[in-house]
Amino acid sequence: MFAAKLSKAIKEKNNPCVVGLDPTMEMMPEFLQKKYNVSVQKENIPQMFLEFNKNIIDSVADLTPAIKVQVAFYERYGLAGIEAFYETLKYCKEKDVLTIADVKRGDIGSTALAYAEGLLQEPSIDSITVNPLFGTDGLTPFVDVAKKEGKGLFILLKTSNPSSAELQDLEVEGGQKVYHKISDIIATLDEDCKGEYSDMGVVVGATHPAQLAELRKKQKGFMLVPGYGAQGGSGKDIVDAFDDGGLGAVVNSSRGITSYYKKVKADEKDYAKFAKKSLENMIKDINSALAQKRGK
């Protein structure tokens, strides 16, 4: 169900780009910092983040099929921060935008079930990211709850960071690499899925164009592609994450969108307007790369 909803939103908005809300102090306009008096009252930081996020959401909701919220940037400020995380997700749903809770949970079966229930039964969460290090029995509780709730998973397959090669690219039998084995495990999780995209998606970094092409062929779920923009990936790098119809992938940008007003030295009061501008640029870049690929 999640993948079907995501496909529908991408088609309606003609956009496979998703916005990441990963607020930091450096990202905040000075006028907001003053309004919340955060240099003295640090406890106000989560409320400031929430106002920042809501304005961005208002500005991009018509354009973006989904918003990714990275919990670490909220957990950094303790319980009040985590409250802002849930409030941000809730506001996305109020604006009819799908949510990706980027939590990268992973554990043994009974613990994985607790995570899965806590997150995937939450109405404001449509999908979560999951870490596969524990193998099949750590993944199946997430899969079972996701199927029951019609929610989605994005399981880490090949991460965008430079050190991702250290473990994920280790060579195992038959010239295969560790990430191939992760791919094989994920492919077994939703064997009754035919035709449509599976709700059991994967994460593959924009920094690995060759792997995007290879893994698109092997995986039945959507690909969540982080690492566009700030981490170095561009439109032409990620076209092979998509199928010929322009579906099957969503590309995330976080700082590249929410800090764009700083990059172009715009009036800080216009931060949400410039977030939208940056998203429009990204959509243009990716949609024209996709058009060019189709034209070939």
* Contact positions vs a second copy (CB under 8 A): 22, 24, 70, 72-73, 75-79, 81-83, 86, 104-109, 111-112, 114-115, 117-119, 122, 131-138, 156, 159-168, 170-173, 178, 181-182, 185, 231
Query: Which residue number, 59 or 183, has a Cβ lying nearer to a second copy?
Result: 183
CB of residue 287 to a second copy, shortest distance in Å: 26
CB of residue 59 to a second copy, shortest distance in Å: 23
CB of residue 7 to a second copy, shortest distance in Å: 27
Residue 197 gets which letter from DSSP?
A: P
Query: Which residue number, 64 or 207, has a Cβ lying nearer to a second copy?
Result: 207
Q: Catalytic residue at 104?
A: yes
Query: Which residue number, 48 or 156, has a Cβ lying nearer to a second copy?
Result: 156
Query: Which residue number, 76 or 236, has a Cβ lying nearer to a second copy?
Result: 76
3-class SS string, the chain: CHHHHHHHHHHHHCCCEEEEECCCHHHCCHHHHHHCCCCCCHHHHHHHHHHHHHHHHHHHCCCCCEEEEECHHHHCCHHHHHHHHHHHHHHHHHCCCEEEEEEEECCCHHHHHHHHHHHHCCCCCCEEEECCCCCHHHHHHHHHHHHHHCCEEEEEEECCCHHHHHHHCCECHHHCEHHHHHHHHHHCCCCCCCCCCEEEEEEECCCCHHHHHHHHHHCCEEEEECCECCCCECHHHHHHHCCCCCCCEEEEECHHHHCHHHHCCCCHHHHHHHHHHHHHHHHHHHHHHHHHHHHC
Q: Whole-angstrom Cα distance, residue 164 to residue 54?
A: 33
Q: Whole-angstrom Cα distance, residue 33 to residue 178?
A: 45
CB of residue 56 to a second copy, shortest distance in Å: 18
Is the alpha carbon torsion for 257, 258, 261, 264 positive or negative? negative
Which residues on neighbouring strands pair with residue 44, listed in sequence order? none
Residue 44 gets which letter from DSSP?
A: G
Catalytic residue among 93, 104, 181, 293: 104
Query: Which residue number, 3 or 155, has a Cβ lying nearer to a second copy?
Result: 155
Catalytic residues: 104
